[in-house]
Amino acid sequence: MTTTSSRLSTSQGVPVTGRPGGAGPVQPTVVNDAVEGPFDLVDTVFEVADVSVFYGDYEAVRNVDMKIGKRRITAMIGPSGCGKSTLLRCFNRMNDLIPGTRLGGKITFHGEDLYGDHVDPIEVRRRIGMVFQKPNPFPKSIYDNIAYGPRVNGVKRGLDDLVEEALVGAALWDEVKDKLKQNALALSGGQQQRLCIARTIAVKPEVILMDEPCSALDPIATAKIEDLMQNLTRDYTIVIVTHNMQQAARVSHRTAFFTADVDREGVRHGRLVEYDETSKLFTTPSDERTEAYITGRFG
Amino acid sequence: MTTAPARHRTENPSLAGRFRPLEPLFKGMLLASLALAVLFLVVLLSYVVTEGWDRLDPRLWENFPSKLYPERAGAQSAIVGTIYVIALTGAFCVPIGVMTAIYLEEYADGSRWWNRMIELNIQNLAGVPSIVYGILGLGVIARGLDLGRTLLTASLTLSLLVLPVVIIAAREAIRAVPGSIRQASLALGATPWQTIARQVLPAAVPGIATGVILALSRAIGEAAPLLLLGAVTHITFNPSGITDSYTVLPIQIFNWTKQPEAEFHTLASAAIVILLFILLAMNSVAIWVRNRYQKRW
């Protein structure tokens, strides 16, 4: 498994009480009904091997190893500037758009090197969709927003069905079915974000990357998106970056905790500290930095 | 510790505002600037309209120029020539200018010195006097390419003249399209070109239209480069093709103001009104395009 496997073995299922060191404020109860079995039994979608990401000479993320399981929600948490969004954007090669970005190590997608010479980033992004922090609908109708992805991928027929299917999938159909020709920018922020999710699933990707999808939304809209994410795991693998620890605890199966190390020259580098079952990471973290972060002592 | 707020409280116990003389002064200055601009426009318009009123009749666009009989003279060849030249100039400079802007904004790596040098040169070209373009057009297009003193030469020269303005305006418009739109499109598996053609350009159309109109408005009023390119002569026929000789309104106006007879001066004012009218018509098209494509984010 991953580097964390040795830490994992002992305490699976051990009650939270009696944790050494005193946890401080009690963390939200972790309930993930969807966790069906140990991670080893889940197919691996992404395998990140010794990955470092550079912007020019600056190494934003250093030596990350992790595996991301199929039809699981994997959360990446950590303080600002720890490189979690940077790493997320490597999964669908959105970092290619920033000049001077370079990747060390290897990310494989079903065993295929994502950064191999033969790989077409356009095809990668079609298979691995992304939802952004700020809802970013196109200044077009709701219908055209959803149909955009299929259209650019050459779909010409059956668009009506695709649009309906995507909107149903994103739990937005009932709210917008009578106003598909209206401008998407007239929707509320939460609706816009669900529209962006619908737009992503209209392309029928395999993975949905979410970069702090709820940070611009109110709690009710956030709850709707979190419910939606749970439903989406029937068909999709989700990787979510979030600043909200409770959110990671509520929705994810596995959580990766990142932090930033400061080196001798005072430069910050993002690092993966701990990666484990969410229930384990939030109750009995193995690393004291994780514990300090989830109990609110830093970050 | 708390002396400052305490003193403040005793000195100014009410919520009454202080006397702030700069606020009304500044507002007054802004209004005065606006009034000055509007005043000059009104004076200019009323002057040419009153001067040219006697000749603002169908003779102006039905007749051709006449050196001997001012009462029979018209500006049809110049009006038609102006419309031809502007249409051709737009046809040349808009595609080239917009494509250049797309390259510079979306593809060029701004950290490379040659791209920065191209940018700097485009900005400098926008400030080159138009007569210099006239000399360039004469030397390179009329003589070098052997196109002669024709409509085509004039349009190509004017295109070169206004191209920097179109490029700069189109770049600004393209840059104003939020990056989140590009990212959303690319993340759905769209190619860079699909993203530009379906998202960036439609969103940039209002800004590009404004820039194009500014550029063509400059071109329509240019006389200096065309003086070198064969528009001086007295033309009594409409151009029938792009390789014909031609004249344009600014040249015709210039010719008439040189005549000693007062009737020709009236005629010149009337022609100025026509020129302004064509300009206004072009601007209305731009405003229509802008409103049609107006987007809010």
**Nearest CB to A138: which of B194, B199, B296?**
B199
Q: Is the Cα torsion angle B224, B230, B236, B238 positive or negative in sign?
A: negative
Identity of the amino acid at B108? A
- Test the A interface: residue of B177, B188, B194 with most A CBs within 10 Å: B188
Give the chain B residue nearest A150 (alpha carbons).
B188
Are B159 and B96 within 8 A, CB to CB?
Answer: yes
pLDDT in tens, A60-80: 998 999 999 999 999 999 988
Mark yes or no for CB contact B189/A153 under 8 Å.
yes
Domain formed by A5-9+21-34+41-294, architecture: 3-Layer(aba) Sandwich (3.40)
The CA radius of gyration of chain B, in Å to the nearest whole number, is 26
State the pLDDT at residue B15. 79
Mark yes or no for CB contact A152/B186 under 8 Å.
no
What DSSP string describes A186-216? Answer: GS-HHHHHHHHHHHHHTT--SEEEEESTTTT
- Provide the residue ranges of all domains of chain A, joining segments of one domain with +: 5-9+21-34+41-294
pLDDT category at B233 given cuts 50, 70, 90 is: low
pLDDT in tens, A199-247: 999 999 999 999 999 988 888 889 989 999 999 998 999 999 998 888 9
Q: Which of A46, A55, A68 is closest to A103 using CA atoms?
A: A55
Interface A:B, Cβ pairs < 8 A: 68
Residue with the bigger pLDDT between B65 and B32: it is B32
Angle (nearest 5°) at CA B179 between B105 and B94: 35
> What ipTM was estimated for this complex?
0.81
Angle (nearest 5°) at CA B111 between A268 and B100: 140
Q: Which of A274, A128, A144, A122 is closest to A201 using CA atoms?
A: A128
pLDDT in tens, A240-280: 999 888 899 999 999 999 998 888 888 888 999 999 999 99
Residue with the bigger pLDDT between A125 and B66: it is A125
Orientation of helix B262-293 relative to helix B22-52, angle to 10°: 130
**Nearest CB to B187: which of A94, A100, A134?**
A94
State the pLDDT at residue B285. 86
Mark yes or no for CB contact A152/B189 under 8 Å.
yes
What share of chain B in percent tops pLDDT 90? Answer: 28
Structural domains in chain B plus CATH codes:
80-248 (1.10.3720.10)
